[in-house]
Structure 1
Amino acid sequence: MTLKVQGLVGGYSKIPVLKDISFEVNSGQLVGLIGLNGAGKSTTINHIIGLLEPQKGAIKIDDIGLKDDAKAYKGKLAYMPEMPVLYQELTLKEHLELTIMAYGLDSNKAWRIANKLLGIFRLANKLDWFPANFSKGMRQKVMIVCAFITRADVYVIDEPFLGLDPLATRDLLTLVDSEKKRGSAILMSTHVLSTAQEYCDYFVLLHQGRIKAKGSLQELRTLYGNDSASLTDIYLGMTQDGKSNE
């Protein structure tokens, strides 16, 4: 299972935000898409999930692109947005049922997974609640459960830590690690660099729509010329001092 982004040029207008972005996320790998606000992280993600069409380049999951087979491509992908997107007229239970139907999941198996996740994220007694009853953190937990019941080949997670309390953050990271061990490929965008450094296997550092560097932490440290530098040191140093792998 591999997500490949190759030579991606794109954005929201004819003037591209992203300029020749290329990277891979492989099975069993958690890749951190790193950048400050405005670096191009969400624009990259919106191309991957199909909300934006590339001006140039290609995005494929296991060599399948959206234009090749949209159903197969989307069926391999689960997305967790930065801001929770819920249907106000549907209960939590109905959100889960809708996800199961949309992905064509086996209902019994999916509900076994869902019930376990509902317990982990302390939502088991809230199946009949509507989104209006949930706090932002609880809405985010609903999105987590909906995404992870799919057992997708590829997960795309956009800024997951905003609004989550420390316990929910820990539970999410444990869940991500479990899915990684199962063989999923996981792309996580974040500007919480300390957490990314601790959990990600590989990093793609974006700045002003370009990749400034990519690699493991040790590879980035070697590139930066400091074997003890933190991810924050490396990112800020490369973006402020003009250092890059280009």
Structure 2
Amino acid sequence: MALTVSHLVGGYSQIPVLKDISFEVRPGELVGLIGLNGAGKSTTINHIIGLLTPMKGKIALNDVTLATDPQAYKAQIAYIPETPILYEELTLKEHLEMTMLAYGLDQKAAWERANDLLKIFRLDNKLDWFPANFSKGMKQKVMIVCAFITNAKLFIIDEPFLGLDPLAVHDLLHLIKKAKENGAGVLMSTHVLDTAEKACDRFVLLHSGEVQTQGTFAEIKANYPDAGDSLNDIYLSLTGVTRDE
């Protein structure tokens, strides 16, 4: 069992945003975290990566928690944020070297993996570039490369498709598939529901800080037979949004 979120209550102030959230991300599966803006997706992710402390409940990754062993907990996670976070004074090569040092990776093996990823995302001739030279999509690709050179047990990917071209989306989905085959769990927050429907193994639908429903697409569809035939239709129905809104 990779990630277990149990009865999580939390937020940014005394008034909780998350109200008794529970779900799992198992090894070898991609779980889609979906919900309207303000539903609690980012708050959930911020608790999992340790930027926020739960008011109640427990978050464990392979039976390790931030409270018991923060270093061992964080070493298992690779995080790709919605907005790329790069250091303006570091080149692409230096970002990769910093990631390798932070995760204690074997340099030779890590660079072999990095070079393969750089070619996939067409960044192999840009090792000496600084972030100021990159477009938003290219910055996202740098974050993806940095994440996937690690040996993370859990990949957390926040809204990855918004700035990527179709080829990069295809390449990212292939990397996720390979990570799953290697036993990693993946938690992905996204609004691109047609892609999520095809790619994700299970879904957790948040609404107003609560888990509205969760399960495979087939399970959710069976539980809500009148909500629609696509994930998008079911999503809109369960959140009370009509197509005319």
TM-score normalised according to structure 1 size: 0.96
SS of the aligned residue for 1:129 comes to: coil
SS of the aligned residue for 2:150 comes to: coil
Distance 2:227 2:80 in 1: 34
Distance 1:112 1:205 in 2: 38
> What's 2:58 paired with?
58
Distance 1:88 1:206 in 2: 35
> What's 1:18 paired with?
18
> What's 1:244 paired with?
none
Q: How far did residue 65 of structure 1 move?
A: 0.3
Distance 1:115 1:55 in 2: 42
Superposition RMSD in Å: 1.1
> What's 1:162 paired with?
162
- Where structure 2 has 5 or more consecutive residues not aligned to the other structure, the ranges are none
> What's 1:218 paired with?
218
Paired-residue identity, %: 65
1:27-72: CA deviation from partner (whole Å, max 9, x where unpaired): 0000000112111111100000000000000100011100110010
Residue 151 (str. 1) matches residue 154 (str. 2): no
> What's 2:116 paired with?
116
Q: How far did residue 228 of structure 1 move?
A: 6.5
Instruction: Write out aligned runs for 1:39-188 (5 A).
Output: 39-188=39-188
TM-score normalised according to structure 2 size: 0.96
- Is the CA contact 1:153–1:184 (under 8 Å) kept in the aligned structure 2? yes
* TM superposition outliers: structure 1 runs of 4+ over 4 Å: none
1:1-32: CA deviation from partner (whole Å, max 9, x where unpaired): 51000001001111011110000000000000
Distance 1:16 1:228 in 2: 32
1:176-229: CA deviation from partner (whole Å, max 9, x where unpaired): 111111110000001111111000000000011111000000100011025961
Distance 1:180 1:226 in 2: 32
- Is the CA contact 1:121–1:168 (under 8 Å) kept in the aligned structure 2? yes
The total of aligned residue pairs comes to 241
- Is the CA contact 2:8–2:18 (under 8 Å) kept in the aligned structure 1? yes
SS of the aligned residue for 2:239 comes to: helix
- Where structure 1 has 5 or more consecutive residues not aligned to the other structure, the ranges are 242-246
- Is the CA contact 1:218–1:227 (under 8 Å) kept in the aligned structure 2? no
Distance 2:41 2:118 in 1: 29
SS of the aligned residue for 1:212 comes to: strand
SS of the aligned residue for 1:46 comes to: helix
SS of the aligned residue for 1:65 comes to: coil
